[in-house]
Structure 1
Amino acid sequence: MREPQQDRSRATRRRLLEACVECLAEVGWSATTVAVVAERAGVSRGAAQHHFPTREELITAALEHMFDERIELTRAELTTLRGATPTETVVARLVEHFTGTLFKAALQVWTAAAADESLRLRVVPLEQKFGRVAYRMAIEALGVQDDDEVGHRLVQATLDLARGLGLADVLTDDSVRRAEVVRAWAGHLDVVLGAGSGAAAGTRGDKANAKAKAPVKT
């Protein structure tokens, strides 16, 4: 049976959006044109323009698609990491969100948005939305309680660290050094949060609580 026209149209649109994200990550903002995206997606330029008449409409739609994908990946990770997951595994998973194709594409958009007010107005709310989901994922995966102010600050520091490691990976392969940093930071979290037996264990001894109240050196 032939695929219904509506399903084919949705599939074509999705291929274009995914191709646009890949182009942003690989060739940058300026080189991501409708023609280049259409070729990568395996559709004609006319078909691409049928869905997205202008480059601006294509990139805007890809931008929304990209952030939706990042949020869904984050939510999936949240489910996977529930339970007594080693802290290093949690930190490594968080860092992975900032070293993949979606982050590299997002970075291109951030750079363009810095000089484009209208684009920035679109990007900032989406980034804030993603940030909230990632933060909640880290809170739950690391077993940080709602009233633990030190723990919450460390979660934010972990996300900032992950973002910085993602930036360091843009120009060169930084995987070896990144693994060492992840291991060291996870060890620090285990000491301060008292989660040595599992990041999401959810319990801490009196000694760990005393350490959590002490100033954090990073």
Structure 2
Amino acid sequence: MATPHEPKQDRSRATRQRLLEATIDCLAELGWAAATVAVVAERAGVSRGAAQHHFPTREDLITAALEYMFDTRTAQAKQEAALLDATTVGVARTHAVVRGLVESYTSPLFKAALQVWTYAAADPVLRERIVPLEARFGRVSHRRAVEALGVDDRDPVAHHLVQATMDLARGLGLANVLTDDSARRKDIIQQWAATLHAALYPEG
């Protein structure tokens, strides 16, 4: 927690981050209806007035939280890619990439985002804000998968296989929302990774 000796700008930044993290936690654990500004502010340990100073409306708060989720996930993807060093090759590398993609859709970040997507589907104002963010997230996620797999995205076959992998990961994430689907998911990841590797690298 910020101390009185910290610069005002740093305290403001820390408060903003606590609000964004609290928003994600509330969405993932409590759902859309319960993730109000008041509840988020209480969880973040700030006053409602302070929360509204940073985010005047609930839509502002939710949109900023999604952007924060996007940035967090992007940073995580970079770290995961860095761990895939030159010794991780062949089908083992493909399996690691697929597993990482699927795990990103079974995390609290995805559960929080799913709450927003569901509500935005029936709210034109929120949807107008969310659709561009999700499109950007999709493009960046696709590019990172292409880079991790080491394929040429200009090849239509490779492009569609990577997109199919993204769609599979999202579907497995949805299947995991209500029940623990980890055992079946592990088998599917292994089978799809082998299939994907054979299709992307037919010569070995």
- 2:41 aligned residue (19, 38, 42): 38
- 1:135 aligned residue (120, 139, 142): 142
Asked if 1:70 is matched to 2:73, the reply is: yes
d(CA) in 1 for partners of 2:82 and 2:63? 29
TM-score between both structures, scaled by the size of structure 2: 0.88
Q: Which residue of 2 aligns with 1:111?
A: 118
d(CA) in 2 for partners of 1:190 and 1:58? 41
d(CA) in 1 for partners of 2:25 and 2:46? 15
- 2:95 aligned residue (88, 104, 120): 88
TM-score between both structures, scaled by the size of structure 1: 0.83
Please identify the structure whose Cα radius of gyration is greater: 1
d(CA) in 2 for partners of 1:114 and 1:78? 33
Asked if 1:123 is matched to 2:130, the reply is: yes
d(CA) in 2 for partners of 1:106 and 1:26? 12
Asked if 1:17 is matched to 2:20, the reply is: yes
The one-letter amino acid of 1:104's match is K
- Pair 1:54–1:146, CA change in 2 (3 A): closer
Question: 1:82: how far off?
Answer: 5.7
Matches within 5 A, 1:1-218: 2-81=5-84, 83=86, 84-85=88-89, 86=92, 87-194=94-201, 205=203
Extract unaligned runs of 5+ from structure 2.
Answer: none
1:85-135 Cα offsets, whole Å, 9 max, x none, are: 421111100111111111111111110110011111111111111111111
1:23-65 Cα offsets, whole Å, 9 max, x none, are: 1111111111111101111222232233223323222322322
d(CA) in 2 for partners of 1:185 and 1:71? 23
Q: 49-58 or 10-19: which moved more? A: 49-58
Give the total of aligned pairs: 197
Contact 1:82 1:140 in 2 (8 A): no
3-state SS in 2 of match to 1:145: coil
- Pair 1:147–1:52, CA change in 2 (3 A): closer
